[in-house]
Amino acid sequence: MKAPLVSTVEDYIASFPEEIQVHLKTVRDCVKKAGPQLAESISYGMPAYKHKGKPAVYFGGYKGHIGFYATPTGHEAFAKELSKYKQGKGSVQFPLTEEMPLKLIEDIVLFRIANIEGK
Q: Where are the domains of the chain?
A: 9-114
Distance from C-alpha of 119 to C-alpha of 101, rounded to nearest angstrom: 24
Mean pLDDT for the stretch of residues 8-16: 95
Give the domain 9-114 fold.
Aspartate Aminotransferase, domain 1 (3.90.1150)
Distance from C-alpha of 92 to C-alpha of 117, rounded to nearest angstrom: 24
Distance from C-alpha of 43 to C-alpha of 65, rounded to nearest angstrom: 19
In single-letter form, the type of residue at position 18 comes to: E
Evaluate if pTM is beyond 0.85: yes
pLDDT band for position 83 (cuts 50, 70, 90)? very high
Exposed/middle/buried for 30, CB within 10 Å: 0-12, 13-18, 19+?
A: buried
pLDDT tens for 59-69 read: 999 999 999 99
Query: Is the pLDDT assigned to residue 52 strictly greater than 70?
Result: yes
Backbone phi, psi, residue 22, to 5°: -55, -45
Would you state the pLDDT for residue 71?
A: 80
Mean pLDDT for the stretch of residues 79-102: 94
Distance from C-alpha of 47 to C-alpha of 19, rounded to nearest angstrom: 18
Query: Is the pLDDT assigned to residue 57 strictly greater than 80?
Result: yes
Would you state the pLDDT for residue 106?
A: 98
Average pLDDT, the chain: 93
Query: Is the pLDDT assigned to residue 1 strictly greater than 70?
Result: no
